[in-house]
Amino acid sequence: MEETYQKEALLYKDKVSGRCDNCNSSYFKSSVKGGVFLRKCQGCGVKKSI
Ligand SMILES: [Zn+2]
């Protein structure tokens, strides 16, 4: 499940660099999972690999 989610996340690109596409927040919490750098929006909770 997690793997599929990460592949979907790879399709995203920032509309505005450094901002969440969904809520336009610039607050993120970053983590590394399985060698993939994940960024979680603190506004809406959307995860994205960067
Ligand atoms: Zn967001």
pLDDT at 50: 80
Neighbours of ion ligand 1 (CB under 5 A): 20, 22-23, 25, 41, 43-44, 46
- Domain-wise residue ranges, the chain: 2-49
**Per residue in 16-47, pLDDT tens?**
888 998 999 999 999 998 998 999 999 999 99
Distance 34 CA to ligand 1 centre (A): 23
Residues ≥6 apart with Cβ < 8 Å to 36? 6, 49
- Residue 28 CA, ligand 1 centroid: distance in Å: 8
What's residue 15's pLDDT? 82
